[in-house]
Structure 1
Amino acid sequence: MKSFRNKSISVKMREILTLSNVAQYTFFSALVWQLMRAYTLTVLAQCTQSGDSLATDKEIIAWVNKKLASSERKRAIKSFQDPTISDACVVLDLIESIKPGTISYSLVKTGTAEDNLENAKYAITSGRKIGAKIYALPEDIVEVKPRMVMTVFACLMARDYTPNVKEMSSVEPLKNHE
């Protein structure tokens, strides 16, 4: 019952946000992805100076490269399909650019597919730790899925434009109430 209600809500949201038409519930995951992407870009639009237009792919890529260059990182990307993204090092460098001291480069290894996956896991965890609302999977980065890679960079961009976001390390742990 809950699943049906969630699907109904998502279909209503699709209509409100004027997203692509979904004729069958089998495309539910694609619809959810569109909603998550719309959410990310809306948050990003609210963070930018104009506040009224969604960021384009080119603007996000330009921001990534500018941020990396400003922190003297040697990496850059050309698109969300850039094969250099697969080792997740560009994501790790971007996180380090946003919040210096976050990444422990002794944990970063390259060379094998397993290393790339571990780097991607570390990147997503570190991004969430600094307050980015990343919902992509490590496999999305390793396989360089352009739509999901875009959301990773957009979430990091939104985090960078929102400096007062609570970080995971600054949240107090729950205390035992005996």
Structure 2
Amino acid sequence: MTSAAERPLLFLDVDGPLIPFGTSSGHRHAAASDSSASLDQGNPLLERLDPGIGPRLMALGCHLVWASTWMDDANEAVAPRIGLPRLPVVEWPDLCADAGPRGLHWKTRHLVEWASRRPFIWVDDEISAMDRIWVAAQHPAPSLLHHVDPTKGLLDDDFSALAGWLRAVAPSRVTSTGD
């Protein structure tokens, strides 16, 4: 259990968790890196954002951090549309650096460093078993690597899982998830 002063981090990816890849017709969209240049030109992917998701994320009581290739564009284009304030942004290291064991996501090592021994949740659609094994071995504080179905984005069941983990790790921090 964490101390009352220790507020868990919640590393949040954009594509998949907040902007689902699936559509009613079953088509998949292009990656955000292709679309982020057109943020001010009515990016149609932003229409997939659920404006009610920001308050639900805030209600979790975590310290929210963008962990996405959108980087600060998430503060400009995503946050205002879902009711979030400006959030800290993980700055990614050079991707040519040693990524670690085969199958380890390129974000994993850097997120553990960024967490700096604090409890954290990582919400992403690309989390693997290797990421979970590596974090369990390398990070001394509690962590939850929560995989989101990229065709659906964050759903009620995801919020229930996040809130349940938080109640176990930092019970005084969870207020409401809108369930």
Is the TM-score greater than 0.5?
Answer: no
The structure in which a higher percent of residues are helix is 1
TM-score by length of 2: 0.25
TM-score, reference length from structure 1 = 0.25
Q: Which has the higher contact order (CA 8 A, sep 6+)?
A: 2
- Larger Rg computed on CA atoms: 1
